[in-house]
Every structure is written in C-alpha cells, then in structure tokens.
A = this chain, B = another copy of it.
C-alpha cells in the first residue's frame, strides 16, 4: 500500500506525517527553520523544528524562561554554547537545555542540520517572526533575509525567548563526549550512542533523558535495530509519541495508514492512536520524543540493562511477559495480538 504523503501540519491534535524538509518553513540568514510540530498540532504537548544552514550561520545567546529544549544533530558540525562552555556536536549527539540555561549555536559545516524541540514553553512561533515564509526546500547559497536582532526586543510576551549577553570560555570547542545523564534537571551533552541502554529482543533503546533530568516532562530516546518484524499494534491513553527517522528506513502504521520513514522524516502519534512499526534496513535508528516523561518505565520493564551502544548479533529474549505482568503501571493498551506471532511481512518495496 502506497499512501499519499501528508505535507501539512494540522490545526488540531491528530496524527500526521511530514517528509524530511516539508514542514512549515521560514528563512533567516541562509538558515531554514522547518516546523514539524506546533502547539496547535500537538495539543500544546511539544514543539519541534528542524533547522538547517551553512557554515557560519548562527543564533545569538538566549534563554527560555519556561521551555526545556533538546537538540539532536542530524548532519554536519554544530557548535553549541551552553552556560559559557563551547561544545562541538556531530550527527547523533544530543544536548539538553533546561529552562534558564544560556545557549547559542554556530553552524560549522557547509550543511549543518538538527532537530530542536521545546516542551513547556512556546518558542516555535518565533521563526515566523524573525524569518520570511520559504517555499523552497533547500537553503539558498546566499542570505535572502539577514537576521535582525532588533526583532527580539519587540516580541510579544507569549514567545518564550530572551536574548542575553554571553561570555563563552575562550578556546576551541570541546568535541561532545558526554556519557552521563545528571540526577537532576541541569544541562548536559550526550555523544551519539551514549545514554541508558536497554536491550529488548533485537533492539537497543537508549534513553537520552530520565524522569529526574526532565522533571518527568518528556522522554527522549533513540532506538536502533536490524531489519525485523513489526511490533504489535498498541495505543497509549495519555502518552503522545513522535517518530523521527535518523538512519535506515522504517514502516509505521498509524490508525491503519501505512507510512514509510526515511532519514529526516517525522511522524506524530498522539495519545489514543493505534500504531505499530517495523525497522526495514539492516541498521535502522530513530529518535522519539514522548510526553509526559513517565513512559520511561515501559522501556525499563521491557528492556534489560545493556552496556553496549549496538544491538547484539543474536537477539536477546523479548520480555513482553514482564510488561503484561505490570501492565497496570504502564500507559499501554494492547490491540490485536501482541506479542504473539508477528504480522505477515509486507512485500519489500525498494
């Protein structure tokens, strides 16, 4: 089944799918902000923007007073200032920026691209104010619309951003090598592949956040698996979920509709939406942002602690029995016949 791509954000909270680069787009400098999740489209649960630009494109130092931001780097080298410390991030690195943290970025590659999400504060509307609507998909080689910092002093109070002076530490940025999630809400950096690894069957789920580090507001995780079988159809009563494919390819079924995700593609699956998915490439990696954050418990019950950043050559046991036993603790409704025999494999389409 080949379905039409949904290229628009809905004005109300419902499932949708955005192909890489096809969000609501604005341009400033030679940067493009493609908004893939808004207050409206997610029922105020999260905002997500994909940003891309060229070497030297930057964003000045600022704070969000309410919003907790997270950044996942997709391509290139991204210099981020975090409370005065400079880090150089590359693809797959994650940075957690709680409310009140002074931060800024500067793109250091000819093509630098990342996802930025914000929870508990409204920021995404900013791009429609500092940028111009952009009908193309790739950034232009020369600036069409220089970022005018005066705009920041004229923003209405409902946009949670304030420019600040910053005095970053002198010297070259440090290559992001962080491997530890703090026990409380504070800024941190995780290198690609670092986090809390939980192994379930043939898939490693790597938590990039914990309830302690996000005040249970959200869960960010990366899942990596080989070409496999679809997981059973399920839904959540309170938990809103997103799928952002980072590498490989995957199929997602949402409310019966089938979507094929390639790197950079995005899907939003709000609470009470039946869904299931399957990894289709030999190495498939995807990023998930879930609200609220207590769905972390599910992955800790399903998965076994695991020390490696890559799944094993032979799958571990799939301990869905533990999930069934503790189903009353988890926001999970099973539909269909999980975790029994998986659905027949759909014929491969390349």
How far apart are the CA atoms of A260 and B281 in the complex, in Å?
14
> B-facing mask of A172-205, CB < 8 A → 1, else 0?
0001000000000000000111100000000000
State whether B77 touches A137 (Cβ < 8 A): no
State whether B350 touches A2 (Cβ < 8 A): yes
> B-facing mask of A84-97, CB < 8 A → 1, else 0?
00001011100000
User: Which residues 45-84 in A have Cβ within 8 Å of B in the complex?
Assistant: 54-55, 75-77
Partner of A75, one of B139, B247, B348: B247
The reply on A20 being an interface residue by CB < 8 A is: yes
Interface size for chain A: under 10, 10 to 19, 20 to 34, or 35 or more residues? 35 or more
State whether A136 touches B313 (Cβ < 8 A): yes
Partner of A350, one of B5, B139, B312: B5
State whether A310 touches B111 (Cβ < 8 A): yes
Closest Cβ–Cβ distance, residue A204 to chain B (whole Å): 9
Which chain B residues border A88 with CB–CB below 8 Å?
Answer: 175
Which chain B residues border A76 with CB–CB below 8 Å?
Answer: 90-92, 192
Interface of A with B (CB < 8 Å)? 2-3, 5, 19-22, 54-55, 75-77, 88, 90-92, 109-111, 136-142, 175, 191-194, 226-227, 247, 249, 259-260, 262-263, 281-283, 308-313, 348-350
The 10 closest A-B pairs by CB, nearest first: A110-B193, A141-B308, A137-B282, A110-B309, A21-B282, A260-B350, A140-B313, A136-B313, A141-B310, A90-B90
Closest Cβ–Cβ distance, residue A173 to chain B (whole Å): 10
Which chain B residues border A5 with CB–CB below 8 Å?
Answer: 348, 350
